[in-house]
């Protein structure tokens, strides 16, 4: 499994590309107030995406987080 760390909007993430599933990623929010929280994403064409698209997916996720609960509304 290919994985790497990123910081987006001051939050730390572990991004993992699922083996044998091109274009499928798991995003573990390492600095989340809720341990183990994150999300998954898959492209419709099953092709890898670049870092900018990954950063945008994380930023979009963070934009939906309720600051009081640390979870999506």
DSSP 8-state secondary structure symbol assigned to residue 36? T
Beta bridge partners of 40: 26
Q: Is residue 7 situated within a structural domain?
A: yes
Number of domains comprising the chain: 1
pLDDT at 1: 62
How many Å apart are CA 53 and CA 27, to the nearest integer? 13
DSSP H stretches of helix in 1-73: 51-63
Write out the residue range of the structural domain in which residue 28 sits.
2-63
Question: From the first residue on, what is the mean pLDDT of each consecutive set of 10 residues in the chain (73 residues)?
Answer: 93 95 95 96 89 96 97 94
Distance of CA 26 to the CA centre of its chain: 6
Domain presence at residue 69: no
Check residue 44 and give its pLDDT.
Answer: 86
The pTM (predicted TM-score) of the whole model is 0.91
**Residue 45 lies inside a defined structural domain of this protein:** yes
């Amino acid at each position: 499994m290919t994985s790497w760390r990123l910081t987006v909007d001051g939050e730390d993430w572990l991004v993992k590309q699922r083996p044998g599933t091109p274009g499928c990623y798991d995003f573990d929010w390492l600095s989340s107030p809720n341990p183990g929280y994150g999300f998954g994403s898959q492209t419709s064409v099953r092709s890898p995406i670049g870092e900018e698209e990954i950063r945008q997916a994380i930023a979009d996720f963070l934009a939906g987080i309720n600051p009081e609960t640390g979870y999506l509304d």
